[in-house]
Amino acid sequence: MGILEVKGVNKRFGGLQALGDVNLSVAENTCHAIIGPNGAGKSTLLNCLVGKLIPDSGSVMFDGQSVLGRKPHEINQMGISRVFQTPEIFADLTVLENVMIPCFAARDGAFRMHAYETVEAEADIRDMAMTMLEDVNMAHKAEEHAGSMSRGDKRRLEMAMCLVQKPKLLLLDEPTAGMARADTNNTIELLKSIRDRRTITMCIIEHDMNVVFSLAERITVLAQGTPLVEDVPDKIKGHPKVREAYLGEAQV
């Protein structure tokens, strides 16, 4: 029984079947990749996991509880964090503040009227955030304005924001899209180290097969909203069905 169990999920947009009978099981503290050609329904699936979309039918169980019908912030509080394709950060705030906010969320829940204490007084939260920033090599940028950083930095920041919550499941939507080679390698190293600590389950959507094969322990291939194959990376590499699905796309 995996930590994330997706069973028979369907989602239609008008006449388009975006997801058709998707089943997926992700084992705890592993790294699971979902790949597939454009329009395969990867992002739709992710959106169903985090509460942005509600599937027409099927069930999504996380850690023994259903996530369906819960709001995004409730699902996050259950232990699912998400890194977006284009970094979603608090652009108007400083880097440190960006990381402190998830710390508060982890400690105080979805809402707390802590209007009288100052942020200054929250030394624990600050330390937690600073430690996290050091982990991702951004401590020296703590006071910078998050919105004016480079795209790579924004990604790292977003990753830090998700990791600092110590999620049980980390969903990554193309974490290296649009990154320079060096940055991509850094990110791979970072994610590898997280995987190898074996405390966080990762579910990753990625186009860059280099990333996928250096990280994933199992891979699900999605095509036209339906899972084609699910297996370990080595088996996926030469799988004929996968080739077929990717025909005309990049070599696998």
Partner 1 sequence: MTDQTTQTGAIAPQADRSRAASGGFLGLGFRDFRLLMIVVALTLLAPFLLNPFPEGSAMAQFNAGYPDLMQRFVIFGIFAIGFNILFGLTGYLSFGHAAFLGVGSYAAIWMMKLVTTNIIPGIIASIIFAALFAVVVGFISLRRSGIYFSILTLAFAQMSYALAYSVLTPITGGETGLQIKSTDRPFLDNLEPGQIGRANLFGIDMRASQILEVGGWQFTFNVGYYVCAVVMILAFYMAIRIFRSPFGMMLRAVKSNQQRMNYTGLSPKPYTLAAFVISGMYAGLAGGLMVAMDTQVGPERMFWTASGEVVLMTILGGAGTLIGPVLGAGFIKYFENIVSKINSDILHGWFAFLPDGLEDFMVAIVYPFVGKGWHLTLGLMFMAVVIFLPGGLVEGGQRIARLFRRRKAADGATKSAAE
The answer to the question of residue 105 lying near partner 1 (CB under 8 A) is yes
The answer to the question of residue 101 lying near partner 1 (CB under 8 A) is yes
C-alpha span between 133 and 160 (Å, rounded): 7
Q: How far is the CB of 36 from partner 1 (least distance, A)?
A: 23
Specify the stretch interacting with partner 1 by CB under 8 A; choose among 28-36, 106-114, 214-222, 238-246. 106-114
Q: How far is the CB of 118 from partner 1 (least distance, A)?
A: 4
By beta-carbon proximity to partner 1, the closer residue of 26 and 161 is: 161
**Quick check: 2 and 217 in contact, CB under 8 A?**
no
Q: Are strands 65-66 and 16-26 parallel, antiparallel or unpaired?
A: unpaired
DSSP tally for the chain: helices H, then strands E = 9, 10
| Chosen residue from 72, 130, 207, 230 binding partner 1 by CB under 8 A | 72
| Chosen residue from 16, 54, 110, 232 binding partner 1 by CB under 8 A | 110
Rounded to 10 degrees, the C-alpha dihedral 86/2/209/162 comes to: 30
| Chosen residue from 16, 54, 71, 180 binding partner 1 by CB under 8 A | 71
C-alpha span between 119 and 34 (Å, rounded): 39
Q: How far is the CB of 182 from partner 1 (least distance, A)?
A: 26
| Chosen residue from 27, 61, 93, 229 binding partner 1 by CB under 8 A | 93
| Chosen residue from 24, 26, 106, 236 binding partner 1 by CB under 8 A | 106
Q: How far is the CB of 84 from partner 1 (least distance, A)?
A: 8
Residue 126's region, left for phi above 0, alpha for psi from -120 to 50, else beta, is: alpha
Q: What's the length of the chain?
A: 252
Please give the C-alpha separations between residue 22 and each of 55, 125, 244, in angstroms, as whole numbers: 11, 39, 19
The answer to the question of residue 172 lying near partner 1 (CB under 8 A) is no
By beta-carbon proximity to partner 1, the closer residue of 42 and 82 is: 82
| Chosen residue from 16, 54, 121, 232 binding partner 1 by CB under 8 A | 121
The answer to the question of residue 100 lying near partner 1 (CB under 8 A) is yes
By beta-carbon proximity to partner 1, the closer residue of 119 and 232 is: 119
C-alpha span between 163 and 45 (Å, rounded): 22
How does DSSP classify residue 145?
B
Rounded to 10 degrees, the C-alpha dihedral 49/135/133/47 comes to: -10
By CB under 8 A, name the binding residues for partner 1.
50, 71-74, 76-77, 81-82, 84, 88-94, 96-97, 100-102, 104-106, 108-122, 125, 143, 145, 147-148, 161, 165
